[in-house]
């Protein structure tokens, strides 16, 4: 009969001395699937799945390995029960370091998840959900917390050159349909513009994406994803829509006409919004216009630091 009370302790070869004594920069686990808690709008708490990377340094050159199971259990407990914030991330990283019992002095965490935001329609009373892929990185080193937040927004870009060429063709057709110098009534011109003859050419537009990464200043506890998304979309002027009725589609067409942009223009618009943000220490932006005219993309990048 098996007597569990007399069972020998389970072996732990991680306690053995390292064959090649050397400290390691980072040791940990990547791509762990875990739920995380987010503070949603109107005080609600959101539970979303995330892919999690965690690592600590191995400062003890003679130690063979870290205590990975302790890291996993600490993450599982903390991420599921406390909403993400700068203080919560500092507390979690401190706990990760402490779990190693002197083996480590710094810790790093990376989270990748999709954040849903409810966005109102442009003209109607409708609203719909839009997805924003997010990557959050937190590192605690020498007591200093470094936080970076990366996300992307999608928008429509209408080519200024194509718009100018289209206007020229429209003007030429108008001259062909109304030769001579006789006066034209407003009704005649309006009816012509509303007819198929009044649209000789249309500028090309395409769905586009701005990929944004910011380093956050340590003075702020909040993770300002929604505020940064709002600022980027307002700067671009033409964020893609969700629930759309005819009046929303017309309003979107008007916004595109008012916000003609090359990829260079789009990158500068987002940069201007980030450069004035008190929560942001440094930023980088990459925009890509998925061309409808060409089989390749038009891209632009810009970065900077705030004082």
CB contact at 8 A, 127 and 118: yes
What is the model's pLDDT at position 279? 94
What is the model's pLDDT at position 64? 85
What is the model's pLDDT at position 21? 75
Per-residue pLDDT for 244 more than 70? yes
For 212-241, what is each residue's pLDDT tens digit? Answer: 999 999 888 889 999 999 999 999 999 999
Sheet with 127-141, edge to edge strand ranges: 24-39, 45-58, 107-120, 127-141, 144-158, 205-216, 280-289, 298-305
Per-residue pLDDT for 9 more than 90? no
pTM summary value: 0.89
Average pLDDT over residues 10-36: 81
The distance from CA 187 to its chain's CA centroid, rounded to whole angstroms, is 48
Phi first, then psi: what are they for 277, rounded to 5°? -95, 120
What is the model's pLDDT at position 218? 86
What is the model's pLDDT at position 42? 74
Q: How confident is the model at residue 2 (pLDDT cuts 50, 70, 90)?
A: low
Average pLDDT over residues 280-293: 96
Average pLDDT over residues 141-154: 96
Widest CA span in the chain: 112
Structural domains in the chain, CATH included, are 22-159+204-305 (3.10.270.10), 160-198 (no CATH)
What is the model's pLDDT at position 40? 76
Question: pLDDT exceeding 90 applies to what percent of the chain?
Answer: 80
CB contact at 8 A, 155 and 236: yes
What is the model's pLDDT at position 17? 59
Average pLDDT over residues 114-132: 95
**68-81 vs 86-98: helix crossing angle, rounded to 10:** 160
- Calpha distance 140→86 (Å, rounded): 11
What is the model's pLDDT at position 12? 66
Average pLDDT over residues 111-127: 96
**Bridge partners, residue 216, by sequence:** 147, 280
What is the model's pLDDT at position 11? 65
For 163-215, what is each residue's pLDDT tens digit? Answer: 999 999 999 999 999 988 678 999 999 999 999 999 999 999 999 999 999 99
- Calpha distance 300→306 (Å, rounded): 20
Question: pLDDT exceeding 70 applies to what percent of the chain?
Answer: 94
CB contact at 8 A, 199 and 170: yes
Pseudo-torsion of CA 95, 97, 100, 104, nearest 10°? 180
What is the model's pLDDT at position 43? 73
For 89-113, what is each residue's pLDDT tens digit? Answer: 999 999 999 999 999 999 999 999 9
Q: Which two tokens stand for residue 58?
A: 């191995």
To the nearest whole number, what is the mean pLDDT of the chain?
92
């Amino acid at each position: 009969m098996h007597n569990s009370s007399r069972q020998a302790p389970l072996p732990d070869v991680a306690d053995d001395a390292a064959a090649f004594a050397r400290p390691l920069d980072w040791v940990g686990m990547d791509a762990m699937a875990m739920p995380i808690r987010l503070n949603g709008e109107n005080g609600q708490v959101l539970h979303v799945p995330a892919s999690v990377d965690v690592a600590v340094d191995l400062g003890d050159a003679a130690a063979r390995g870290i205590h990975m199971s302790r890291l996993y259990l600490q993450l599982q407990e903390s991420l599921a029960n406390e909403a993400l914030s700068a203080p919560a991330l500092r507390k979690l990283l401190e706990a990760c370091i402490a779990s190693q019992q002197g083996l480590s002095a710094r810790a790093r965490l990376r989270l990748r998840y999709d954040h849903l935001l409810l966005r109102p329609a442009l003209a109607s009373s409708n609203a719909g959900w839009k997805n924003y892929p997010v990557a959050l990185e937190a590192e605690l080193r020498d007591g200093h917390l470094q936080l970076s937040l990366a996300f992307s927004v999608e928008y429509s870009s209408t080519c200024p050159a194509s718009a100018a060429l289209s206007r020229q063709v429209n003007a030429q057709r108008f001259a062909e349909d109304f030769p001579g110098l006789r006066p034209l009534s407003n009704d005649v011109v309006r009816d012509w513009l509303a007819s198929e003859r009044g649209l000789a050419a249309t500028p090309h537009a395409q769905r586009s994406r701005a990929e944004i990464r910011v380093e956050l200043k340590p003075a702020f506890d909040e993770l300002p994803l929604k505020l940064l998304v709002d600022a980027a979309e307002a700067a671009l002027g033409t964020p893609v829509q969700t629930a759309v009725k005819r009046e929303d589609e017309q309003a979107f067409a008007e916004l595109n006409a008012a916000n003609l942009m090359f990829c260079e223009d789009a990158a500068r618009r987002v940069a201007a919004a980030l450069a004035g943000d008190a929560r942001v220490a440094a930023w980088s932006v990459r925009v890509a216009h998925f061309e409808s005219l060409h089989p390749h993309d038009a891209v632009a990048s810009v970065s900077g630091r705030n004082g």
